[in-house]
Structure 1
Amino acid sequence: MTKDLIARYYAAFNASDAQAMLACVSDDVEHRVNEGAIRHGRAKFAEFCGHMGVSYRETLRDIVIFSSDDGRRGAAEFVVHGTYLQTDPGLPTATGQTYVLPAGAFFDMADGRITRVTTFYNLNDWTLQVS
């Protein structure tokens, strides 16, 4: 079940379907992103998804999903293929640059929903690719 939930979450991501992503997370989801503040709750997660959809167009490839034996924790490794569409404050100017970036995420699960997403990538690598 854990692997299936993570697979649905990333299928929704690749389809740019924020509503389907939101359906995978709990009301009190904890969202931790690389180099960013911790977001608490589905509403903050939805705001993040909206922002990402404006600033970036990304597809995840080569996704490998892992799960603990008890199904309470999971992880995924993937490669982000993206286009930088709109300048994010504090980051380089967006001019439609493309990038390919290895990344990963860790998950906690409860009651058939994702309760924590922690995403990691190398911000320096991304910055070099779009600068």
Structure 2
Amino acid sequence: MSDLNQSQSNTDLIYRFYDAFNRLDAEAMAACYTEDVLFSDPVFGELRGREAGDMWRMLTSKARDFSVRFDQVRADERSGGAHWVATYLFSQTGRTVINDIQARFVFRDGKICEHHDHFDLWRWSRQALGAKGALLGWTPLVQNAIRAQAQKGLKAFQTGR
């Protein structure tokens, strides 16, 4: 496949991923990943392989008042990126979160082999946790507690299936 065709194919893959997310179709999202995908973000840290798909399965199954918008999609034969904004009700507090995210991708064999989401965890914690997040969300103690809770939730989801 030519570099131009591969670039278009990878661009289409990003669109397919976010279109599936907008439909809360975690299986279609996971199908965009290689079996050994590396995912990372400020909340879940690094997830590999099936864990990444399970994270999307968990998040989509719990999604309330959810929407996603995405733009700035770009890709070449090896890597790409997108900007996306998720709006949802954070189930633990009932607060609305608008999370503004920059995504970076690496492709292999027509699939996503690396997916790195970047966003401001303090901004997220101010929205999700309210006053506690605003006052303490920048501290390593609170950020580590957020990460631990996310990992605990993922493990519970994985064992509860």
Is 2:81 the counterpart of 1:75? yes
User: What is the CA–CA distance in structure 2 between the aligned matches of 1:77 and 1:30, rounded to whole Å?
Assistant: 19
Q: Secondary structure at the match of 2:31?
A: helix
- Please show how residues 1-131 of structure 1 align to structure 2 within 5 Å: 1-41=9-49, 43-57=50-64, 58-68=66-76, 71-85=77-91, 87=92, 94=93, 96-130=94-128, 131=130
- Determine which structure has more spread, i.e. the larger CA radius of gyration: 2
User: What is the CA–CA distance in structure 2 between the aligned matches of 1:62 and 1:52, rounded to whole Å?
Assistant: 18
Amino acid paired to 2:83: E
Amino acid paired to 1:10: Y
User: What is the CA–CA distance in structure 2 between the aligned matches of 1:30 and 1:62, rounded to whole Å?
Assistant: 21
User: What is the CA–CA distance in structure 2 between the aligned matches of 1:46 and 1:15, rounded to whole Å?
Assistant: 15
Q: TM-score, normalised by structure 1?
A: 0.82
Amino acid paired to 1:4: D
Please, which runs of 5 or more residues in structure 2 have no aligned partner?
Answer: 1-8, 131-161
Match of 2:134 in 1: none
Higher relative contact order (CA 8 A, sep 6+): 1
Q: Secondary structure at the match of 2:60?
A: helix
Please, which runs of 5 or more residues in structure 1 have no aligned partner?
Answer: 88-93
Query: Which sits farther off after the overlay, 10-19 or 51-60?
Result: 51-60
Higher helix share: 2
User: What is the CA–CA distance in structure 1 between the aligned matches of 2:70 and 2:80, rounded to whole Å?
Assistant: 16
Q: TM-score, normalised by structure 2?
A: 0.68
8 A Cα contact 1:63 1:79, kept in partner: no
User: What is the CA–CA distance in structure 2 between the aligned matches of 1:17 and 1:103, rounded to whole Å?
Assistant: 19
User: What is the CA–CA distance in structure 2 between the aligned matches of 1:123 and 1:111, rounded to whole Å?
Assistant: 32
Higher strand share: 1
Percent identical:
28
Amino acid paired to 2:114: R
Structure 1 residue runs of 4 or more that deviate by more than 3 Å after TM superposition: 54-58
